[in-house]
């Protein structure tokens, strides 16, 4: 079985193909005089199409490359959750009432550590937090390899934010990367794959043309009808009608 190519490998293959295509195109001044004006226009239009495809391809590659990696945030999220669990367990192990001053300070420090993980570096009411070295969460994060004081505390290997902040960033980056990857995947298709997809799209459009699609009574779902106005259940559709309907339904669901 041929191993699946990585995105970088697919990019290299597609770039080489497009570069070769462009290199084989002749300049307008070098075209044979035997070509008619229409043939010249068509030839130049195809060259312009290739140039546009190359530009779109390189833009898509750059857009994906510009999306920050998600791994640092997913790693920090896992470590922060583990730190919180440790601090919470240690705090619960301190039974009330607490009469020992040192034990009280430790309990308060553990509660503060949990709040820091939940709410971030903005929890301080007495100025900017410059170090976590004297805190339990700082000890745990340092042991996990993070910077816990100085400018690095707020750097890429420092405290990356509260749990909600990191989760939101992961969600946003995942959405951004998924969109960028999807746009690039379209341009990474080979000519054969594009031809096959075009044929499939044409077949789906023809299948949709045999049906009337209307919003359901809930205002969100879609119902299918024959051209005569009779209900067309999915079970009664042909295979191509069903696939076309399901694709259209998915696209519609993404917009509501």
How far are the Cα atoms of 129, 139, 160, 207, 237 from residue 222, in angstroms, in the given order? Answer: 54, 56, 44, 16, 14
| Stretch 165-187: mean pLDDT | 96
Band the pLDDT of 46: cuts 50, 70, 90: very high
Q: Is the Cβ–Cβ distance between 132 and 140 less than 8 Å?
A: no
Lowest mean pLDDT among 88-102, 205-219, 242-256: 242-256
Residue 171: Cβ within 10 Å count:
12
- Tens of pLDDT along 96-125? 899 899 999 999 999 999 999 999 999 988
Band the pLDDT of 256: cuts 50, 70, 90: low
Helices (runs of H) and strands (runs of E) counted in the chain: 8, 2
Q: Is the pLDDT at 49 greater than 80, yes or no? A: yes
- Tens of pLDDT along 228-248? 999 999 999 999 999 999 989
Percent of the chain, pLDDT > 90?
A: 85
Q: Name the nearest CA neighbour of 83 among 112, 49, 42.
A: 112
């Amino acid at each position: 079985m041929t191993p699946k190519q990585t995105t970088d490998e697919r990019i290299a293959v597609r770039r080489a193909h497009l570069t070769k295509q462009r290199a084989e195109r002749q300049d307008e001044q070098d075209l044979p005089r035997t070509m008619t004006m229409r043939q010249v226009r068509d030839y130049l239009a195809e060259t312009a199409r290739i140039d546009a495809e190359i530009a779109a391809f390189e833009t898509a590659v750059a857009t994906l490359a510009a999306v920050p990696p998600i791994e640092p945030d997913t790693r920090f999220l896992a470590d922060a959750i583990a730190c919180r669990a440790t601090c919470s367990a240690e705090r619960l192990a301190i039974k009330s009432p607490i009469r020992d001053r040192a034990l009280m300070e430790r309990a308060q420090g553990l509660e503060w550590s949990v709040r820091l993980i939940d709410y971030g570096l903005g929890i301080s009411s007495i100025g900017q937090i410059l170090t976590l070295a004297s805190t339990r969460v700082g000890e745990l994060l340092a042991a996990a390899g993070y910077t816990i004081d100085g400018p690095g505390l707020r750097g890429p290997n420092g405290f990356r934010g509260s749990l909600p902040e990191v989760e939101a960033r992961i969600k946003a980056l995942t959405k951004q990367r998924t969109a960028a990857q999807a746009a690039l995947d379209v341009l990474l298709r080979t000519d054969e794959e594009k031809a096959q997809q075009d044929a499939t799209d044409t077949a789906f459009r023809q299948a949709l043309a045999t049906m009337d699609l209307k919003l359901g009574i809930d205002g969100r779902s879609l119902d299918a009808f024959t051209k005569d106005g009779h209900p067309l259940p999915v079970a009664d559709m042909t295979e191509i009608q069903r696939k076309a309907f399901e694709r259209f339904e998915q696209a519609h669901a993404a917009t509501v």
